[in-house]
Structure 1
Amino acid sequence: MSTISFAIVGCGHIANKHIEAIRNIPNATLAAVCDTNPERLKEYADTHHVRGYLSLEEMLEKETELDAVSICTPSGLHAPLAVQAAQAKKHVVVEKPIALTLEDADRIIQACKDNGVKLSVVHPNRFRPAVMELKKFKDRGLFGKLSHVNATVRWNRNQAYYDQAPWRGTKALDGGVLMNQAIHNLDLMYWLTGPVEEVQAYNATRLRDIEAEDVSVAVLRFKDGTLGIIEAAATIYPKNYEESLSIFGETGTAVISGRTANWIKHLIFEGVSEEETARVIEQVEQDPFGTPGHQHIIADMADAIREDREPLVTGQDGRNALQLVLTVYEAAEKHAPVKWGESKELVSSQQ
């Protein structure tokens, strides 16, 4: 089995998760790191015993055997770097969100398509054991006709968190609680429930000194008539309280929650024995975190390269989650419902 060579662009906090994932995957190797901050670059290069570069251009020029690049920079910088990597014929793993605008998301998707390289977006919550079990029940059709779904993030990101770097909480480079924390839940909601028809929303910046929102509530109508509720907050005192995802259907109910949505709190289906659902709940409780989601994403990219197939979490998946966040933003700004296909951010026919 061939070894897949990765490089990291952006040596911030999230890069550590990528590096750990690469180190824990057989037949994958970390070849280089890149960052515009010389001190931070030296720290990462020395710690991980790899070559370091101050520019992506230099790294792509010198690392000729490189297979894939992980983009771990602030979100507003994803597009130019991902496009540059794709144009150098390198496969691309990009941290969430894929970008901050649909125009930039489409630039990334098109560049990867034009250059024949794979693209995966880091939405690791799909690989939580509880979520994977929920997806199995959904794929079996056991919920029947859905009535509504609910995604909740009640977390704490205090002012010190935003003060760590000047780009945090800015609209140009970062975004707020929807774009940073709740986008994972929105990805799961879209993935499990399907295309959105219309969004109504309120956003506010209540407690943090940032440009973007620290709390948001939204109501969705999906194309099949299912209703959805989003509640996202970075304002919970004094620490993270709850993350949950709930699905309510004609013949089934499921709720996963906890401080992070790693535990199945309620699971019942018509025609499914209590013994079977209890077994699933117990199995998840024995290992609620499972293999880290970043490791799933990186391992899947390596396999996708070897097998010449699409990654499990595609650029379009990342785009869908981004569009949902942006449509919530627009509905809140307009104080009016926004149709999915009429969003001012919609610049692609991809659905």
Structure 2
Amino acid sequence: MTAFALVGCGRIAKRHADLLAGGQVAGATLAAVAEIKDERRTAFSREYGVPGFADYHDMMETLGDRIDVVSVLTESGNHARHTIDLARYGKHILVEKPMALTPADAEAMIQACDIANVKLFVVKQNRFNLPVIRLRQAIEAGRFGKIVIGTVRVRWSRPQAYYDQDPWRGTLAMDGGVFANQASHHVDLLEWLLGEPDSVFAKARTALVDIEAEDTGVALISFASGAIGVVEATTATRPKDLEGSISILGERGTVEIGGFAVNEMKIWNFVDQGPEDEAILRECREMPPDVYGFGHKHYLSNVVDCIQHNGRALVDGLEGYKSLVLLSAIYESIAQEQEVRLRFRPRVSRLGLCGAALPAAGVSSK
């Protein structure tokens, strides 16, 4: 049995705890939680029947021999500090998206885990959605021919009350805006499917809420393959979430996956139709109840397989780093108000910088 400990008991932590403590991930269990806020820690400890600690060092020193994976679910701006701090205990690390807010921090996380000889997993659960898997297989099989354009759309709703839950939400130092938080999964999907990006030009604004970062933005990405990528992202949809979607258009086919969380196959159309196509369209129309979708369960199962059977991690630290570099380039382009090449170091963007250090156990980032 692979035992997980959660660091941070906020919004996304409940998703992890429900799956781990509820027996929904074969071979996995929830062993403990760490959270600096007394009310959150007590609530999680009671609901899931596990010990709660105000400090993750106390947790590791007390229960370290019973823990296999530490899940870092704190605010994004503290992911690097907490990961590097926890790697010393020799336990595998799982970190929610984005793995960090700067490429330099991500590099330090990878190095710390390499030195400690532990695995680093970065949560990108949408890669495990069945429609996304089928889309990836079609690309690898060459069914699209030359890919022309890929588009992701994140049209979600986050009112002011969402950002007012914690003082770090919507700040450039600890969270970023819709690109770094809500759309980071979709940026990752676009790069995973279309390959190496060359440059990006992005624009953003803060339209409907009072935060430092953006709630609305668009990005135009040029890929080495010649394909164009478009990211449309907003949390200013009202009154409720509309979609999280991706479409790929090529010379020999078109696929669009929609729904709240890239879970519903809407279009699966190729010049050369195969006997399996009707079944694929039929099997990939399951709608999730919320924007989290169904991918976390499959993602955590992959983590357990990697640990118990030395399997391959679909999203390790290096994979998480790739999409973070693209994300960082988007913010640099917004700050410079011009196109940015991908082989760059942030010069103007303030994403992940100038943040006041928060207490070690932190709070949840999602």
With the length of structure 1 as denominator, give the TM-score of the two structures. 0.93
Q: CA deviation at 1:78?
A: 0.9
Distance 2:260 2:85 in 1: 38
Alignment of 1:156-175 (within 5 A): 156-175=157-176
Q: Does 1:106 align with 2:123?
A: no
**SS at 1:224's partner residue?**
coil
Q: CA deviation at 1:219?
A: 0.7
Residue number in structure 1 paired with 2:360: none
Residue identity (%): 40
Distance 1:85 1:323 in 2: 24
Q: Please identify runs of 4+ aligned residues in structure 1 that moved more than 3 A.
A: 287-291
- Identify unmatched segments of 5+ residues in structure 2: 348-366
Which of 284, 289, 302 in structure 2 is aligned with 1:300? 302
Amino acid at match of 2:332: E
Q: 1:247 to 1:52 in 2, by over 3 A?
A: same
Residue number in structure 2 paired with 1:116: 117
Q: Which has the higher contact order (CA 8 A, sep 6+)?
A: 2
Amino acid at match of 2:61: E
Which of 314, 317, 320 in structure 1 is aligned with 2:319? 317
Alignment of 1:188-227 (within 5 A): 188-227=189-228
Amino acid at match of 1:156: S
Distance 1:242 1:64 in 2: 41
Distance 1:71 1:342 in 2: 28
With the length of structure 2 as denominator, give the TM-score of the two structures. 0.89
Q: CA deviation at 1:208?
A: 1.0
Distance 1:184 1:16 in 2: 19
Alignment of 1:68-83 (within 5 A): 68-83=69-84
- Cα deviation 1:65-110 (Å, max 9, x = unaligned): 2111011111111111111221110101101110111111111111
- Cα deviation 1:155-176 (Å, max 9, x = unaligned): 1111111111111111111110
* Contact 2:260-2:288 at 8 Å conserved across structures: no
Distance 1:293 1:58 in 2: 31
Q: Which has the higher helix share?
A: 1
Q: CA deviation at 1:210?
A: 0.2
Distance 1:301 1:272 in 2: 35
Q: CA deviation at 1:117?
A: 0.8
* Contact 1:155-1:240 at 8 Å conserved across structures: yes
**SS at 1:332's partner residue?**
helix
**SS at 1:178's partner residue?**
coil
Alignment of 1:253-332 (within 5 A): 253-273=254-274, 276-285=276-285, 287-289=286-288, 292-332=294-334
* Contact 1:56-1:81 at 8 Å conserved across structures: no
- Out of 116-125 and 15-24, give the one that drifted further: 15-24
Distance 2:298 2:252 in 1: 32
* Contact 1:85-1:91 at 8 Å conserved across structures: no
- Cα deviation 1:253-286 (Å, max 9, x = unaligned): 111113432211111123223x53222111112x
Equivalenced residue count is: 341
- Cα deviation 1:131-180 (Å, max 9, x = unaligned): 11111111111111111111111111111111111111111111100111
Residue number in structure 1 paired with 2:27: 27
Amino acid at match of 1:60: M
* Contact 1:119-1:314 at 8 Å conserved across structures: yes
* Contact 2:328-2:346 at 8 Å conserved across structures: no
- Identify unmatched segments of 5+ residues in structure 1: 346-351
Residue number in structure 2 paired with 1:348: none
Amino acid at match of 1:247: I
Cα RMSD over matched residues? 1.6
Distance 2:206 2:64 in 1: 46
- Cα deviation 1:217-241 (Å, max 9, x = unaligned): 1111001111111111111122112
Q: Does 1:241 align with 2:242?
A: yes
* Contact 1:158-1:235 at 8 Å conserved across structures: yes
